[in-house]
Amino acid sequence: MNTSSGNTVKVLLIEDNPIHVGLVKTLLSESKSPFFQLQYAGTLQAGLNQLDAAAVDVVLLDLTLPDSEDLDTFIRVRSFAPTVPIVIVTGLDDVKLAAKAVEAGAQDYLVKTQLSRTSLIRSMRYAIERTRVRDAEWDSPMFRLAQRQFLKAAQFMGLDDNIRQRLLFPQRTLVVTLPFRRDHYTEVETVFGYRVQHILTMGPTKGGIRYHQDVSLGEVSALAMWMSWKCALVHLPFGGAKGGVRIDPTGLTSHELQRLTRRFATEISPIIGPDKDIPAPDMGTNERVMAWIMDTYSQEKGYTVPAVVTGKPLVLGGARGRNEATGRGVVYLIQEAAKHLKMNLSECTAVVQGFGNVGSHAALFLGELGVKLIGVSDATTGVYNRHGLSIPSLLEYVAQNRFLEGYPEGDHISNEELLELKCDILVPAALQNQITAENADRIQCKLLAEGANGPTTLEADEVLNEKGVFILPDILANAGGVTVSYFEWVQDTQNYMWTLDEVNQRLKSILKDAFRRTLNRAQKNQFDMRTAAMIEGVERVAQAKLARGLYP
């Protein structure tokens, strides 16, 4: 559940009956994740005062109060706090009235005598989600960042205004709601899912699927847009796409994850396919999830279609080296940048934020080059050791304990502190929006290699450029993943598999070429590396659009 304060949901119960207050309190107190912070008011006026004083995620409202009755109660709360979702709690005899309140804009109603922990929590969760969908699907900071980066590049390159308008929004978006059964057989969850295809001009579209509690249409659209520039930058015959489900996958069992994935695959199957749109893993998904999507799609077709996804297990037609490709690519590019900057990698220190697929592989391959890893983090903690961290020991610890929390061979620091450590190479490989105007000035690396998508805001970019930090921008730095995905798709469509050596050699030569073109453009036109990389990508897409002409 995505709320104003992370995993804590602030609930305001406006209810004058102490027995019902006690009941709600008991039901919510049993939940640890999310944690419910309940405040209550016995009159409408007291409720409005509390709404005024504190940020509230959801209101539970009894319509019959000592100082207000019927629909008037709802209307007064709604007009006082128009953006806060409201769930009516009603007696059995007032159900008709509660339904009217829903018609007037309340998100749901619950009958007091039928309240259970599941129904109460679920109703509030959906109320928050639906309000968010209504208000904020497109209004995502990430989408604004992607659009602003694109507009900056468009301005520098003098992009044709017709094409500029065409590329600013995705060409095709699909929003689905889908149910999946919990292991407790009678519990059915409904979640939001997305698939966005930014440009259909370049060939099939390509992009990962993300499972995360913050996923929204805007976020997925931003990621799809970046995929377009990334594919064009490294000269792959794909347009950009991305997908996601708004859910925290860490709270799901393996069976639940499979049911969710299969239903999501079915919902998006009309618009995916080897010649249409080819998903891959992203945050919260992995090769097992890809195998389920491939199997579901194949079952629907009646024959096996390996090329519908990439990032699959090897035995199903996955490419050798795909799992580690993004991290490997990050490190190939760091090697190129180090040559340009005349940095001797065996004397360098590195900090990596995020220890999932991208972060752990980047750390591993940096270690193989003799770089000393002094800091690493994941969602639970950061770990710092100025003498150097043992990567095999970190990998083993995470394999056993899932997270870095409690790792014994270093000091535990926050993610904010980690980013500000003095080091030669910083690799953000977790989330977007990590280096901002707020902390950019305190970033102390020489080389920033963006394993994650969108980790740096435009304002932070300016500060870092002024400080002389050399940036390997996300669309270049993490392009290794989609490049080996492309190899996987090529191999699947030809039924001819390559060796690991062939994969890595081809990956290296594609990334070296993209680095050289980006650096040349940056140096020739005095652009920063991000703008140069963006223009490399946007220019190719614009050329293709012009060459194809306009239909009809």
By CB under 6 A, residue 221 contacts ligand NAD:
no
Should residue 196 be labelled a site residue for ligand NAD when binding is judged by CB under 6 A?
no
Q: Which among 230, 242, 312, 508 is annotated as catalytic?
A: 242
What is the spatial order of strands in the sheet that 382-384 belongs to?
411-413, 382-384, 372-377, 349-353, 425-428, 447-449, 470-472
Whichever of 107 and 415 has its CB closer to ligand NAD, that residue is: 415
Figure out which of the listed residues 452, 476, 535, 541 binds ligand NAD, where binding follows CB under 6 A.
Answer: 452
Q: Are residues 84 and 58 in contact, defined by beta-carbon separation less than 8 angstroms?
A: yes
C-alpha span between 545 and 542 (Å, rounded): 5
Report the alpha-carbon distance of residue 212 to residue 250 in Å, rounded.
9
515 by Cβ neighbours in 10 Å (0-12 / 13-18 / 19+) ranks as buried
Min separation Cβ 480 and ligand NAD, Å? 8
Q: Residue with CB nearest ligand NAD? A: 356
Structure tokens at 448: 């920033």
For residues 532 and 229, is the Cβ–Cβ distance under 8 A? no
Compute how many residues bind ligand NAD; rule: CB under 6 A.
Answer: 24
Stretch of residues binding ligand NAD (CB under 6 A), selected from 102-110, 299-307, 332-340, 348-356? 348-356
Cβ(306)–Cβ(312) under 8 Å? yes
- Please compute Rg for the chain using Cα positions: 25
Interface residue with ligand NAD among 377, 457, 491, 504 (CB under 6 A) is 377
Which range touches ligand NAD (CB under 6 A), out of 4-12, 67-75, 353-361, 519-527?
Answer: 353-361
Please spell the DSSP secondary structure of 313-346, one letter per residue. Answer: -GGGTPPTTSTTHHHHHHHHHHHHHHHHHT--GG
For the bound state, the minimum distance from the C-beta of residue 289 to ligand NAD, rounded and expressed in Å, comes to 11
Measured from the CB of residue 24, what is the shortest distance to ligand NAD in angstroms?
Answer: 31
Residue 451 interacts with ligand NAD (CB under 6 A): yes or no = yes
Q: Quick check: 34 binds ligand NAD (CB under 6 A)?
A: no
Q: Among 279, 321, 354, 375, indicate the residue that binds ligand NAD (CB under 6 A).
A: 354
Quick one: which of 45, 72, 44, 39 has its CA closest to 57?
39
**Of 88 and 429, CB closest to ligand NAD:** 429
Selected binder of ligand NAD within 15, 282, 295, 492 (CB under 6 A): 282
User: Does residue 424 bind ligand NAD (CB under 6 A)?
Assistant: no
Tell me how far CA of residue 501 lies from CA of 303, 472, 493, in angstroms: 31, 25, 20
CA distances (Å), 89 to each of 20, 130, 297, in order?
10, 18, 42
Distance CA 137, CA 49 (A): 30
Per CB under 6 A, which region of 139-147, 191-199, 297-305, 357-365 contacts ligand NAD?
A: 357-365
d(CA 40, CA 19): 13
The residues in 478-517 that bind ligand NAD, with binding defined as CB under 6 A, are 478, 481
Secondary structure, 3-state, 474-519: HHHHCCHHHHHHHHHHHHHHHCCCCCHHHHHHHHHHHHHHHHHHHH
| Minimum CB–partner distance for residue 159 and ligand NAD (Å) | 25
Does 453 participate in binding ligand NAD (rule CB under 6 A)? yes
Largest CA distance in the chain: 78
Figure out which of the listed residues 11, 87, 215, 430 binds ligand NAD, where binding follows CB under 6 A. 430
Q: Does 310 bind ligand NAD (CB under 6 A)?
A: no
Look-up: residue for tokens 């394999």? 399
Told to check if 283 binds ligand NAD by CB under 6 A, we report: yes
Measured from the CB atom, the residue of 152 and 212 that comes closer to ligand NAD is 212
> What sign has the CA pseudo-torsion 541, 547, 550, 552?
negative
Which is closer to ligand NAD, CB of 84 or CB of 319?
319
Q: Give yes or no for a cis peptide into 18 (omega within 30° of 0).
A: no
Which of the stretches 12-20, 140-148, 347-355, 384-392 binds ligand NAD when contact is defined by CB under 6 A? 347-355
Token pair for residue 198? 């930014």
When binding is defined by CB under 6 A, the residue of 358, 426, 443, 503 that contacts ligand NAD is 358
User: Which string of x and - marks every residue 463-482 that binds ligand NAD (by CB under 6 A)?
Assistant: ---------------x--x-
Pick from 233, 241, 181, 235: which is nearest to 210 by CA? 241
Task: Compute the distance between CA of residue 456 and CA of residue 463 in angstroms, rounded to an integer.
Answer: 11
Query: Between 89 and 477, whose beta carbon lies closer to ligand NAD?
Result: 477
Q: Is 321 in the site for ligand NAD (CB under 6 A)?
A: no
Query: Residue 22 or 251: which CB sits closer to ligand NAD?
Result: 251
Taking CB under 6 A as the binding criterion, the range among 13-21, 142-150, 270-278, 373-381 that sits at the site for ligand NAD is 373-381
> Which residues 6+ apart lie within 8 Å of 166 measured at CB?
545
Distance of closest approach, residue 360 Cβ to ligand NAD, in angstroms: 7
85 vs 311 by CB, closer to ligand NAD: 311
Catalytic residue status for 422: no
Closest approach of ligand NAD to the CB of residue 226, in Å: 9
Q: Closer to ligand NAD at the Cβ: 311 or 317?
A: 311
Instruction: Point out which span in 33-41, 63-71, 296-304, 349-357 binds ligand NAD (CB under 6 A).
Output: 349-357
Q: State yes or no: residue 335 binds ligand NAD (CB under 6 A).
A: no
Which residue from 3, 357, 483, 491 is in contact with ligand NAD, where contact means CB under 6 A?
357
Rank residues 164 and 212 by Cβ distance to ligand NAD and give the closer one: 212
Shortest CA distance to 389 belongs to which of 407, 413, 414, 415? 407
Contact 329, 339 (CB under 8 A): no
Applying CB under 6 A, the residues found at the interface with ligand NAD are 281-284, 326, 353-359, 377-379, 415, 429-431, 451-453, 478, 481
Q: Where in the sequence numbering do the catalytic residues fall?
A: 242
